[in-house]
Each structure stands twice: as C-alpha cells, then as structure tokens.
Amino acid sequence: MIVFSVLASAIGLGGATGLVRTQFILVLTSSILLVILAFAKKGIFISKIALSIAVLLICFFGLEGAYRIVLLYQQQTAAYSYRITSEVYTEFDEKHGERIKPNMTFWNSYIKDGNVVFGTTISKSNADGLGGKTTISEYEERDYKVLIFGDSFSHWNQMGSSWPDLLEGKLNRRVDGSVGVLNYARGTYGVTQMLALAAEKVEQHKPDLIIIAAVGRDFSRGRWWRKDFRWNGYTRHLISDRPDKFLDYPGATDTILVNPEANRSWCERILAGEATASDHGVLDAVKQQHSLLRQENERVMGLIFQPFSLRKSHLLSRLIHGKVKRTAAAMPRVPFEDFSEDDELVTNIESLQNSGCPIMLVYLPQKREIDQAKTITWGPNRNLMQSLERIMNQEFILLHTEAELDAPKKMDLRPHDWHPNINGLQWYAQAVAPFAEAVLKDGSAKE
C-alpha cells in the first residue's frame, strides 16, 4: 500500500516533485529487496523468488497501462490558450533577428478553450518600421535625442501609444527644448540583442541618451531569429536559435498563429456576440490550424504521445523526469550565468561606452514587484543582471523602489495577457521621466 500511495503522489495530475519521485524509486527498490530477503530466510526456491518478481512486474505493467489511459484522456480533453493574428508585422533580419515592417498595426486575438476571449492592438509601427510615433526625420530636428531599446513591454501599444511615446511627451514638458524618442524595442528581445542593436544605432543617430529597458526574464534570453514560411497551406511564424534552421528543426517553434481571416473585425464580432456562420467557420479553421501545428511541433520535438509504444515507459519517464509539457519551449536561453563569457556582448558594451553617450539601465517592474517593493527574478536572470551591472560599472534603476510613484490598481491585461494596459504604460513613462530629465539637463549629455 505504501508503494501505491507514493506512486499515486508521484504521477498525480498536479505534478511530481523530484523528492516524491526519489521516494517512490527507493520504496520500490526496497520492497523488491525485502521480498527477496524474506524468501531467502525461509529457504524458498529461486522459482518462487522469480514468481514474486514476476508479480511485481505485472503490477508495474498494469500501472503503466493505467497511466497511459490517463495520458490519453488528458490529451483528448486538453484545453489550450494561444494567440492568432491576420498578418505578421515583422520580417527576418539576419543580423538582429527580426525587423518591424513599416506602417503596421499588429492586432492579436486570444483563444482559450477553443473560444475567442479577448483581442487588442499590441503594436504599431511608423514609416521607418519603429514601434513608436516619432520618425527618424522628426527625431533629427529635435534638440534632445533619446534612443530606447527593450522587449515587448517597450513596443507594447495601447490606445495608440507605447510608454516611450508617452515619455517623449512628458520630457517635452519638462526640459527647455524639444525631445525626440526613437523606439527600437522588439518583442522577445533579451539584453544581448538590445545591446547589439544599440551599439549599431548609436553611431547612426548620435543620441543624447540611450535607455536599455529590461524586464526580469530578459537577461537569460539568448539570441534568436524569426522568419515566415509557407507550410501545408499555412503561414508559419517561427522563432529559432539559429538563423539558417527553422522548419523540421527542434530548436525552432511557432510563436503565433497566422490566418488572414482572423482579423480585428472578425474578433470584435465574436466578442460582441454578433458572429456570423462564416465567423464560426473561421474559428473552426483556426482550431484545426492550431491542432496541426501543435502536432507538428510535438513531432519535431519528439514529444508525441504513443499509447501503444513498446519502446518507452511513460510511467518511468514521469517518475524520473517529472511532467513533460506537451509543447515546445519557444525561447532560446544563454548557456551561462555571467555575461563576461559573452565576447560579443562585451564588445558591444565597449562600443557603446566609447561613444560617450550616457546610458541608462532601467528595470521595468511588474505589478507584484511594485506592490512588494522588490525585484522578483529567478536564479540565472538575477545572476546575469548582476554581472551586466558589474561589466558596465553601473546599476539598473529599479523603478519599483526608486520611483516615488504609486502604481495603479490594475496596470496589465490579465487574465488574458500579462503585458501592460494603458495605465501601466503611463506609469512606466511617468516613472522613467525624472531620471531621463536629469540626464538630459546634465551638461554631459550635450557635450
């Protein structure tokens, strides 16, 4: 009974910990040894020992079969959440992973359990393919010039503005002279790619201030590339850890579904309860598309569940490795915890520092970090953040502890998305403004 209770805990639907799995393996091994010792003391023949082992094996195979039934049921009843867009707003860039297409509006529809539950514009690009309102020609006419590099939090657009757009407006009211902000943020960027792009653009734009805006997970993100492909009649928007490998490659996966008919009007009609039969047909097609792409990713990643396979024990795999997600991991990660091991990043930092342009490192907190007044990052990100501060000889401005500014009650789009709503974007702009103002007003920024 002890063995079965530990086994039930180890394969429970809530997930298995390494401790519980270890306990089960120890108990099972101990049980087998105790049985053998007991028989040995009583002088029972080897045949009966073999019979007892056979009974244990039969029990194990029975449990294996039962667990496969559970997995099959979970597969058939699984609910998925994902996003879909009618058109991808970026294109492949061999040097920097991707670049934003000019004059694009990027609408995302959110699907949960097969239903459309939310939709929003998440980014808009200008004529230069930047995620902000100010163009390069407008920037060049301004008295003070600012470049911002970040991830999706910085290109995120709500009600027509990103937080760099709002920051520009605030700085124009704070300093004596006009301010232009170019927004070079790109979704899913980590600090390695932010700094690489900044090192290139600093010579082109000769700014008075560079802002590197990061969130907690950005530090461990590795270099990646995104590219579109046609596959079985679908457009696939793939992210890869290599610029030359995408399709049929375990290091690449889909980042969002693309279907030209799943546009903003379609989404809004469904959310308003005004969907037509054609709209429902599009939704059915979207669900079929998701199912096919999910199966393709699982095939490439070797995650396909084979209920009748004789080559693998799913039960032992669960006990040893824990619960395996049925989808591929989409984000390449750096293989170290100290940026000094990244020669390219160190070179880019030296290039930036040699330019003489002031650099501001800004940490964009999420709501719980503001509420708790502390930085919440897991091990590798924390270590990488500290190593970056050491290499650059400056610390990140932690807005949740250094900005004297109350956070709004709700500043993100949860439960549908953890990115900021308009209140969150305004808070970031207002929190960064006094720090940017101080640098621009300092004479060193205009030397």
- CATH number of the domain residue 133 falls in: 3.40.50.1110
pLDDT for the residue numbered 324: 47
Q: Please count the other Cβ atoms lying within 10 Å of the Cβ belonging to residue 361.
A: 19
Q: Which helix (H) or strand (E) holds 304?
A: none
Which segments within 161-224 are labelled E, that is strand?
179-183, 209-214
Same domain, 141 and 12: no
CA distances from residue 287 to 47, 77, 81, 276, 282 in whole angstroms, order as listed: 56, 14, 11, 17, 9
Q: Provide the residue range defining the domain that includes 59.
A: 2-77
Same domain, 366 and 433: yes
Residue whose pair of structure tokens reads 């621009």 in the numeric block: 440
Same domain, 35 and 132: no
Same domain, 215 and 354: yes
Same domain, 36 and 156: no
Same domain, 61 and 155: no
Does residue 66 belong to any structural domain of this protein?
Answer: yes
What residues of the chain score a pLDDT lower than 50?
A: 1-22, 324-329, 444-447
Same domain, 356 and 442: yes
Same domain, 73 and 197: no
Question: Which residue, of 10, 42, 77, is where some domain finishes?
Answer: 77
End-to-end CA distance of the chain: 78
Same domain, 441 and 341: yes
Question: Which residue, of 54, 77, 100, is where some domain finishes?
Answer: 77
Does residue 388 belong to any structural domain of this protein?
Answer: yes
pLDDT for the residue numbered 26: 52
Is the dihedral angle over the CA atoms 420, 425, 426, 432 positive or is it negative?
A: positive
Does residue 271 belong to any structural domain of this protein?
Answer: no
Same domain, 337 and 427: yes
Does residue 260 belong to any structural domain of this protein?
Answer: no
pLDDT for the residue numbered 445: 38
Which tokens in the block code for residue 408? 């709004």
CA distances from residue 416 to 83, 109, 227, 258 in whole angstroms, order as listed: 10, 10, 26, 19
DSSP β-bridge partners for residue 254: 238
Q: Which helix (H) or strand (E) holds 254?
A: strand 252-258
**Structural domain count, the chain:** 2
Same domain, 57 and 136: no
Question: What pTM did the predictor assign?
Answer: 0.82
Does residue 134 belong to any structural domain of this protein?
Answer: yes
Does residue 15 belong to any structural domain of this protein?
Answer: yes
Does residue 63 belong to any structural domain of this protein?
Answer: yes
Distance of CA 56 to the CA centre of its chain: 44
pLDDT for the residue numbered 290: 96
Q: Residue 345 and residue 7: Cα distance in Å, rounded?
A: 47
Question: Which residue, of 77, 107, 138, is where some domain finishes?
Answer: 77
Same domain, 346 and 218: yes
Does residue 414 belong to any structural domain of this protein?
Answer: yes
